[in-house]
Amino acid sequence: MKLSILVLTVPVLASFAAATRMAAHEFKLVPITYVGPITPGGPNFTITGTPKQIYDQIIALNPKYDVAAFNLEKRDFISLAERSPTRVACNVERGAAQDQIVQGIAAIINLGPGSCYLGPKPACTRLYCSQNSAIYFCNDNTHAIGPSCDYLGYGMTQDILNQCSICGGSCALSGQAWDEDNYNVIVGGSNNFGEGYC
C-alpha cells in the first residue's frame, strides 16, 4: 500500500551571507518527501510536507507508531565510520541553542527508517525549528536525493554538535556539514532564509 499526501510548500527565501553559505537568491525552501514504512516490516508510504507535517501524518495513519520498534541504533544503513560528513565548518551563522538541536536530532530520527527526498538545487528544507534554533538540509545537486532521515540526524547534525559545541545546555552553536554526495546540513538560528522565526 502506498499513500501520497501533499501538504503546503514554504516560501522562497533569501540566502546565507557567510562564505560557507549560498549565493543570494540561489536556494529556496521546499517540502521533503518521506518514503518508508510506518510499522516494522510494513509497506512503504510516501508522504510530502515539512518533517512535522510528515510525522503528524504518520501518527494519523498509525496511532501506535513507535520509532523505537525499528531499532534504528542497530541498523547498518551505512556505518557512520564509513560514511561521515566530508567537512564540518563551525560558527557559520547566528547560533542555535544546543539543547534545542539535541531535541531536533530526536525529532528527525522520529520520522523512522525511511528516506528524506529533496528536490534538485536550489532546494533546501527546514528539518526542525524551535526557540529560534533551526536545522536545515540543502541539496547542491541538479538531481533529487534521498538520504536516510536518521543519517541526517544521527550522522550529519550530530557531527556538527560534536565538533562545534563548546559547552552544554542552552549554549549557542552553529555549523555546516557536507556529505560526499553533494548535500549539506546547516545548524543555526531560524529565519536564515527569510522563512520566519520559530
Stretch among 17-31, 39-53, 94-108, 169-183 having the lowest mean pLDDT = 17-31
User: Is pLDDT of 187 > 90?
Assistant: yes
Distance of CA 178 to the CA centre of its chain: 13
How far apart are alpha carbons 15 and 182 in whole angstroms?
18
Strands 172-173 and 28-29 come out as unpaired
pLDDT tens by residue, 4-57:
434 333 332 233 334 344 443 578 899 999 999 999 999 999 999 999 999 999
Pairwise CA distance, residues 184 & 171, whole Å: 23
| Crossing angle of helices 98-109 and 51-61, rounded to 10° | 40
What separation in angstroms does the CA of 167 have from each of 19, 103, 155, 163, 170? 25, 16, 20, 11, 8
**One-character DSSP codes across 154-179:** IIIIHHHHHHH-SSSTT-EE-EEEE-
Give the separation between CA 110 and CA 155, rounded to whole angstroms: 14
Question: Cell for 16?
Answer: 546565507
Residue 167 confidence (pLDDT): 83
pTM, whole model, 2 decimals?
Answer: 0.84
The tens digit of pLDDT for each residue in 75-91 reads: 544 444 455 568 999 99
Residue with the larger pLDDT of the pair 178 and 18: 178
